[in-house]
Structure 1
Amino acid sequence: MPSSHSRLTYRQPRHADVQRLFAIFGDAQTNLFNPAGPLPNLDAAQRLLDHWLEQWASQGYGWWAITRKESPEHIIGFGGIAPLNYLTQRRINLGYRLAVEAWGQGYATELGRDALALAFDTLSLPEVFGLVRPDHAASIRVLEKLGMQRFGLLEDVPGQAPSLVLRVCHPTTAQA
């Protein structure tokens, strides 16, 4: 979990978060680099939230609801680590989606550090991946700042340039 100097707090998402999830995931600006585009309606947000809750129930971890310490009732985004299918390969993926109001303040990097601490220090996972559109310079910078290195490409969006796959290995297994 986050270090004491963290500006953010994290908790498991709840059913009551569906409106805020839709506000963030349904926003065209937060989906500029998402080939699927914004979530179209509240039902789609409910399906995504249900998927996250199933992951929490089966895995014991998943995407967090993220708030600032000084306003713990106001969600500024969602993110963390969770299993994700990279086409046919299941990976532990680091991802996030932050409200526009939270952009440019280093929150994505802070969230990423805390999520990797969970992955490596608590769960002892061997590696964590990041999947990012090749033109999404800000997210690429965040993942590289977290120590992720380019691992390959994934042809996951038909008719478009492949996504970049980045990876960071558990610090103690990195030499293996």
Structure 2
Amino acid sequence: MPNLHSRLIYRQPRQADVQRLFAIFGDPQTNLFNPAGPMPDLAAAQRLLAHWMEQWAFNGYGWWAIARREAPERIIGFGGIAPLNYLTTPRINLGYRFAVEAWGQGYATEVGRDALALAFVSLGLPEVFGLVRPDHAASIRVLEKIGMQPFGVLDDVPGQAPSLVLRVCHPTTARV
């Protein structure tokens, strides 16, 4: 599980998080690199939250609700690892989205490292992927910093440049 010395705390999302989820995912600034744009309404936030809760119930893990250790009641973002189809290929995907107030403080890197610890140490998963828009330099840097390497591209947004796919393998399987 996540590092006890972490500045962040993680928990399973719950129904009470829907307003905060909408505030973060509906903010145009947090969606600058999201081709779908901001989340349109609270109903969409409710659907996403329900999906995350189903993933937790089925898999025993999924995206976390993330807060600073000194303010555990204030969610600053959501992220972690969860199953995601890359078009038709199932992958374990690492992702995150933070409120603007949390940007530039290294939280994405911290969440990424903690999510990989969960994936490899606790769950024993063989590999984790990251999907990022090619012009999202900050997220590319975060994924590279936590050990992900270019794996390929995914033509997942019609009429736009393909997304970059990065991957990191379980440390023990990477040597095989």
Instruction: Give the TM-score taking structure 2 as reference length.
Output: 0.99
Comparing 2-11 with 25-34, greater Cα deviation is found at: 2-11
Q: Which residue of 2 aligns with 1:175?
A: 175
Q: Deviations over 1:119-172 (max 9, x none)?
A: 000000000000000000000000000000000000000000000000000000
Q: Which residue of 2 aligns with 1:31?
A: 31
* Structure 1: stretches of 5+ with no match in the other structure: none
Q: Which residue of 1 aligns with 2:21?
A: 21
The code of the aligned residue for 1:104 comes to G
The code of the aligned residue for 2:42 comes to L
- RMSD value, Cα: 0.4
Counterpart-to-counterpart distance in 2, 1:84 and 1:4: 28
Counterpart-to-counterpart distance in 1, 2:153 and 2:2: 31
Q: Which residue of 2 aligns with 1:137?
A: 137
> 1:165 and 2:165 equivalent?
yes
Counterpart-to-counterpart distance in 2, 1:35 and 1:3: 33
What SS does structure 2 have at the residue aligned with 1:37? Answer: coil
Q: Which residue of 2 aligns with 1:155?
A: 155
The code of the aligned residue for 1:97 comes to R
> 1:93 and 2:87 equivalent?
no
> 1:48 and 2:44 equivalent?
no
Counterpart-to-counterpart distance in 1, 2:82 and 2:18: 19
What SS does structure 1 have at the residue aligned with 2:75? Answer: strand
Counterpart-to-counterpart distance in 2, 1:23 and 1:49: 13
Q: Which runs of 4+ in 1 moved over 2 A?
A: none
Number of equivalences? 176
* Structure 2: stretches of 5+ with no match in the other structure: none
> 1:10 and 2:10 equivalent?
yes
CA shift for structure 1 position 31? 0.2
The code of the aligned residue for 2:56 comes to W
Q: Which residue of 1 aligns with 2:118?
A: 118
Q: Which residue of 2 aligns with 1:79?
A: 79
CA shift for structure 1 position 4? 2.1
